[in-house]
Copies of this chain bind each other. A is one copy, B any other.
Amino acid sequence: MTHKVLLLPGDGIGPEIAAQAARLLKACQEAGLDIEVEEGLVGGSAYDVHGDPLPAETLAKAKAASAILLAAVGGPKWDKIEDLSKRPEKGLLGLRKNLGLFGNLRPAMLYPQLASASSLKPELVAGLDIMIVRELTGGIYFGQPRGIEVRNGERVGFNTYIYSESEIERIGRVAFKMAQKRGKKLCSVDKANVLEVTILWREVMERLAPEYPDVELSHMYVDNAAMQLVRAPKQFDVVVTGNMFGDILSDAAAMLTGSIGMLPSASLNESGQGMFEPCHGSAPDIAGQNIANPLAMMLSVAMMLRYSLDETAMAERIEAAVGSVLDDGWRTADIASDGMQTIGTEAMGDAVLAA
């Protein structure tokens, strides 16, 4: 069966790094992978053309695809759009919600070749390998009621942080299974000393635990988790948390590696369909200069092969190629240490393809 892959370049550096992913996909096809690649518009660039960050055509293509590769959305150009529903980010959030991509996997791992890029002392991050499992279609991102309205003569802004038991259970199972495949330690992050919604979260995690007796479940308050990530990040194996806390902690964890330009992510639904994106953003300040690091985007292709297309061998080939490119000393500017020679986006794409 031919798999449909939808490539969404988006905004900022998106098109440049997406171009390298497209070349990689072509190479995979030549190596025998049975896929059909389409492109679509999303984010600010879709808004500019259609007045909508998630045009119906893009959504239809996304629904029909086995997997989506999204580069990045957003930029200052669209920050002044008054209507929040038209902002580039809503393209991304709309895809997550419409496709039910509730399970967000955000690995934070340190490439040994890039150990010196971390702002932490080497001994604290050497061998770092954390998997953050973030709930992606619920919580305060989508909770109702929400808005800005006048109450008692002044405006108030409000959002609702809400989870049902079934939503918590669903993401909990993803996290427990992930822990089973890894170091068998799962840390659930909440604020159960203050927020009722996370009391329920903790309770459901506790209820699931006996079904995964080989996994050691612990709980941590979110403020402490932010501290522990800075203090001793290697204590973590798999972390599971809600949408908002996951947004914050996964970015902090990614930054611990010092090379966020290397980190892909996966967002999966119940049928295994997935969207794959780099963890970094659209970096508008360096867009169009052929200097952005395409590796997180190319590694997103590998994650797609592994999680949505079940092509583990080919995923491993890509990951090995990236490793050997780093071994050979090729660096884009963001991951170069002092005095190292750097190459551009395209040249990095060449290097990975050659490897």
Check A260 for interface membership: any CB of B closer than 8 A.
yes
Check A181 for interface membership: any CB of B closer than 8 A.
no
A298 to chain B, nearest CB (A): 22
A72 to chain B, nearest CB (A): 13
Check A331 for interface membership: any CB of B closer than 8 A.
no
**Which B residues lie within 8 Å of A229 (CB)?**
252
Check A166 for interface membership: any CB of B closer than 8 A.
yes
Q: Do B119 and A157 touch (CB < 8 A)?
A: no
Check A113 for interface membership: any CB of B closer than 8 A.
no
**A163 and B155 alpha carbons, distance in the complex (Å):** 9
Q: Do A230 and B256 touch (CB < 8 A)?
A: yes
A232 to chain B, nearest CB (A): 7
A277 to chain B, nearest CB (A): 14
**A193 and B231 alpha carbons, distance in the complex (Å):** 29
Q: Which of B148, B162, B254 contacts A199 (CB 8 A)?
A: B148
**A20 and B146 alpha carbons, distance in the complex (Å):** 47
A232 nearest CB neighbor, chain B only: B119
**A112 and B156 alpha carbons, distance in the complex (Å):** 43
A-B contact pairs, 11 of them (CB 8 A): A84-B196, A120-B121, A121-B121, A146-B196, A148-B199, A148-B200, A151-B164, A155-B200, A157-B199, A158-B197, A248-B248
